[in-house]
A and B are shown apart, each in its own frame.
Chain A
Amino acid sequence: MARKSVSKAHAKIQELSWEPTFVEKDPKYKTDYTFKEGGQKDPMKQVLQSYFPMQEEKDHRVYGAVDAAIRGNMWRQVQPRWMEWQKLFLSIIPFPEISAARAMPLLTEAVPNPEIHNGLAFQMIDEVRHSTIQMNLKREYMRNYIDPAGFDITEKAFSNNYAGTIGRQFGEGFTTGDALTACNIYLQVVAETAFTNTLFVAMPSEAAANGDYLLPTVFLSVQSDESRHMNNGYGTLLMALANDENKDLIERDLIYSIWNQHAVVDAAIGTIIDYGSKDRRKDRDSYAEMWKRWYYDDYYRSYLVPLEKYGLKVPHDVVEDAWRRISDDFYHHHVAQFFATGWPVNYWRIDPMTDEDFEWFENKYPGWYDKFGKWWEHYSSLSEPNGHNPIAFENTGYVYPHRCWSCMVPCLIREDTIMDYVDGQWRTYCHKWCHWQDTVAYREEYKGRPTPAMGKMTGKREWESLYHGWDLADIQHDLGYVRSDGKTLVPQPHVQFEQDKMWTTDHCKGIEFQSPNVLLNEMSDEEREKHMEEYKQGFTINDTL
């Protein structure tokens, strides 16, 4: 269909909508925002008659590349270090994608603007596309990469793992709670507009540098759908801004979305890009450099700030706090260290860092070696099973962290930790904004106005409390992170493939696992205060084991 006739066709399909008269419309999904009718236009002007063939054509290219990668034995040149982190990343990402599909009716029910509804319906099926195309990509990895363990249990592992849960809130945030908070601000205005570049552009370039040219083909094809989605979000945001009563809620939702997604996405993607790569050229961008470009300059300065002229209150301090955690406070480096500490309950392998890695980190993040170098040296020396325990249970000086009740990433920048008694229990938070999320944003009123549509933070939010007092080997069996011989672990603290270098549940028997939150709640007030004071002071890694 020619472009001109597409826009004519798009105008024609606007005749389809009408206002029901036999029923009083009762929206299935609710919002505390208020809207005037009509308003924004759908800027993309698409009709399904041009959309489907266009997407089919994109698919041809993707599946052509899949075939080529298989025929060309791409896996002879992929870096195991990189592929292992894909076991985590590709276990998480299909869920946020499908959640985005599920989220679309939140807005079609809550926002009275049929023209925008049309764009949302396209987005719904795009997201089904993204989710299943990524599941298929992962299936190819499982079939062709040297070590399929971890890919083979992918959706189960995503469901029962602490890291899966961290990623899962990214998707659940799209689908649940106030329709505008979830689908517009959290999904469209922040996740899609701010993070799809790091997720779907930075990730592919790193993949290619690690010998994987399949992921770029799939993810750039996914990314090519995103501009339509950003436009959906922009239109709805402008409609919301047109009504003064919404300003406080928009501000609340921007703080929550910007902070929570920084905490969650930067934890995972920062780690994968900086610690999952073998490409240590000095002129390849670090995650912090990418963040500065894609997020700080492109999203924050060029997209959010200009919206101030429409009355948007941009939470500058929240963006700056996030940037400070990445640029000065080594946020995702702490996360990488934590993931590596937790390797016995992961479902992927984590390769030790080498001298070449150290040099790159020190160059990109001055001061890195002093904070992390020694610990990674210990990690290397403990990576093969030689009669010692996994590193978490050896005396390196590392203190296993408390978990943040809101973002569920641990409280890793120790001095920022906040402890509070909330809803009848002691909780810890990684930062004041995460504390604010639980105690201010996710509540029944905000700035004195009732917020009956706001969602609730639910679930067993501290993963460790599920296994408090368990034997580590029993946990591994319970999680299903054990290979087909019934004892070799799926996760390994290295990427060596000789059977005798691999850890088994036998190496983990007799180690008791504990929940920091359970222990915290068992302490006397005095003990707890003292404990937290020490916790916030951090730890020193021992020179020798």
Chain B
Amino acid sequence: MSELAPEGRAFTKGLGRGDRSIPQIMLTDAEAGAAEFAGSDSRSYNYFEPKKRRATKYEDVTLDVQPDPERYLTQSWILGWANGDLGYDPKWTKIQSSDWHAFRDPNEEWEKTIYINNSNSVRQVTNAIENAQSENVFQYWNKSWLPIIAKHVSAWAHADYGIGMYVFLPAQRAAPTNMHNNAIAVNCMHKLRTSQDIMLYNMELMDVFGDEFDGEVHKETWLEDPSWQGVRENVERLMNAKDWAETTFASNIVFEPLVGDLLRSQFVARFAPPHGDSLTPSVISVSQAEFTERDLNYTRDMMTEFLEDETHGEENKQLMEGWLEEWVPYSMQAAKGLEPIWSEPEVQPVSFEDSFEQVKNRFEGILSDLGLRVPEGATR
């Protein structure tokens, strides 16, 4: 007890703080190392097996926060679903695993990184737009390119939105561990943020070009333009599917490589520059990088974990090949449906066939990395 502040009175008494008491600071010497006794040096979370020798901060703040009756949850889930499913039910995917808890997000996303990475993405996009504005690059744009951005680049925002809001948001409720669900939650935010990036970019262009840029036509394009109906059908079918691992697989292993890559890195990245526009590719490249460097990565690791499962690997492989049979045709149809937009711009630096060949090769590369067979005739 401090002698200097008896009865918890403040020194500030009479200095405008009246009679109010304040809590006393007491020295307790309760810091690490102040005494030695059993357990006094046990200074790491010890209830899980770290992947490397020492647990990462990501592992510390993520593992076992969603408990599991197969691990320590002895009373099991105390609320269940009307149909008898457990609160978190491993049956919610057809994937089987002998250790759900082995998966680690290779991106090691947790609170701090989520905000740093996404803020960096936001800054990249805003800086690109601000630089373009201050250098007034818009005057060099080929005006015939504007409707293409208004329709086709902007229509993609709907795909990102649908997948973020109605595929990944529900999926992050469903997986049996926090590691799966957090990785999916971060993916969800990437998609939603990108969809908004595109919309806000669209809004910027409305300001810059006024009547020359139709800021609203993207929705009509998405809903009615025949080129886009395959993409929309694919997205809507993903939105309605229920198996969280299947929708993650069908979005990131099938749809994004076949359709997303096609639009972002073959159409936008290659067609914009010959029209004087280097800004749209830099806006879109942020989400392209997020997909290839982050979201595809975690999905590949997650699926590899299932495929290499010592007990269920073979069944999981068959299951995923079944998913390919179901989803590749939708994504093929979506990709091929976009073919007409390759002939809309004034300058056409690459043919649809060549563009498609590129993404198809990459897609097949992803599958062969996973050891999955491309379904017969599916990519023709």
Contacts of B126 in A (CB 8 A): 49
Shortest Cβ distance from A134 into B: residue: B61
Whether A484 contacts B42 in the complex (CB less than 8 A), given A48-B193, A76-B31, A452-B82, comes out as: yes
With a cutoff of 8 Å between Cβ atoms, the chain A residues found around residue B8 in the complex are 281
Contacts of A276 in B (CB 8 A): none
The residue among B57, B82, B239 with the most chain A CB atoms within 10 A of its own CB is: B82
Choose from B29, B63, B80, B189 the contact partner of A456 (Cβ within 8 Å).
B80
Could you tell me if B78 and A149 are in contact, using CB atoms closer than 8 angstroms? no
| Docked CA distance A300–B175 (Å) | 36
Q: Contact mask B9-28 → A, CB, 8 Å, 1/0?
A: 00000000000110101111
The answer to whether the Cβ of B169 comes within 8 Å of any Cβ in the partner chain is yes
Of A102-110, A319-327, A333-341, A506-514, which stretch is located at the interface? A102-110
Q: Interface code B75-87, partner A: CB below 8 Å = 1, 0 otherwise?
A: 1111111101011
Other-chain residue from B46, B65, B202 in contact with A12 (beta carbon distance below 8 A): B202
Chain B CB within 8 A of A288 CB: no
The answer to whether A25 and B240 touch across the interface, beta carbons within 8 angstroms, is yes
Asked if residues A160 and B73 are in contact (CB atoms below 8 Å), the reply is yes
Within 8 A of B (CB), among A369-415: 408
Determine if B173 and A102 form an interchain contact, defined as CB atoms under 8 angstroms apart: yes
Q: Is A440 an interface residue (CB 8 A)?
A: no
Docked CA distance A149–B21 (Å): 34
Chain B 38-54 interface residues, beta-carbon cutoff 8 Å to A: 38-47
User: Which residue of chain B lies nearest to A467 when distances are taken between CB atoms in the complex?
Assistant: B74
Partner-contacting stretch, out of B108-116, B268-276, B291-299, B305-313:
B108-116
**Residues of B with C-beta under 8 A to A132:** 61-62, 110-112, 182
Interface 9-mer from B158-166, B339-347, B356-364: B158-166
B336 at the A interface (CB under 8 A) = no
CB distance from A507 to the nearest CB of B (A): 14
Residues of chain A within 8 A (CB-CB) of B4 are none
For the complex, give the distance between the alpha carbons of A124 and B239 in Å: 18
Are B66 and A98 closer than 8 Å at their CB atoms? yes
Binds B, one of A139-147, A303-311, A519-527, A533-541: A139-147
Is the pair B44, A152 in contact by a Cβ cutoff of 8 Å? yes
A28 (CB) vs chain B CBs: closest residue: B170
Q: Which of A168, A281, A458, A498 contacts B86 (CB 8 A)?
A: A458
Give the nearest-CB partner of B194 in chain A: A48
Task: Give every chain B residue within 8 A of A153 (Cβ-Cβ).
Answer: 45-47
Number of interface residues of B (CB under 8 A): 104
Let me know if B115 and A172 touch, CB within 8 A.
Answer: no
Number of A-B contacts (CB under 8 A): 350
Q: How far is B71's CA from A53's CA once the two chains are assembled, in angstroms?
A: 38
**CB of A195 closer than 8 Å to a CB of B:** no
Q: Chain B residues with Cβ under 8 A from A44's Cβ? A: none
Q: Return B288 CB to nearest CB of chain A, in Å.
A: 18
Q: Complex Cα distance A133/B63, Å?
A: 14
A68 at the interface (CB under 8 A from B): no
Q: Which of A13-21, A232-240, A241-249 contacts B (4 or more CB under 8 A)?
A: A13-21
Whether A106 contacts B173 in the complex (CB less than 8 A), given A172-B78, A458-B86, A461-B75, comes out as yes
Contact across chains for A59 and B185 when beta carbons are under 8 A apart: no
- Please state if B28 and A80 are interface contacts (CB–CB under 8 Å): yes
Digitize A147-188: 1 where CB-to-B-CB distance is under 8 Å, 0 elsewhere.
111001111101110000100110011011100000000000
B185 in contact with A47 (CB, 8 Å): no
- At the interface, yes or no: A542 with Cβ under 8 Å from chain B? no
Contact of B87 among A145, A156, A175 (CB under 8 A): A175
- Nearest-neighbour CB distance to chain B for A127, whole angstroms, equals 9
Contacts of A52 in B (CB 8 A): 115, 118-119, 121-122, 193
Q: How far is the CA of A496 from the CA of B72 in the complex (A)?
A: 29
State how many angstroms separate the Cβ of A428 from the closest Cβ of chain B. 16
**By the criterion CB–CB under 8 Å, are A109 and B170 in contact?**
yes
**B261 lies within 8 A of chain A by Cβ:** no
B219-254 vs A, CB cutoff 8 Å, 1 = contact: the mask equals 100110000000011001101101000000000000
B28 and A48 form a contact (CB under 8 A)? no
CB B25 to nearest CB in A, in angstroms, measures: 6
Let me know if B216 is at the binding interface, CB within 8 A.
yes
Q: Point out the residues of chain B lying under 8 angstroms from A78, CB to CB.
A: 28, 30
Q: Does A291 contact B (CB under 8 A)?
A: no
20 contacts between A and B (CB under 8 A): A18-B222, A29-B173, A47-B200, A48-B122, A76-B29, A94-B65, A124-B185, A129-B115, A132-B110, A136-B57, A136-B110, A142-B45, A144-B31, A147-B40, A154-B45, A177-B79, A408-B78, A454-B82, A458-B86, A502-B38
Taking Cβ atoms with an 8 Å cutoff, the residues of B that contact A are: 8, 20-21, 23, 25-47, 57, 60-68, 71-82, 84, 86-87, 110-112, 114-116, 118-119, 121-123, 125-126, 157-158, 161-162, 164-166, 169-170, 172-173, 178, 181-182, 185-186, 188-189, 192-193, 195-197, 199-200, 202-203, 216, 218-219, 222-223, 232-233, 236-237, 239-240, 242
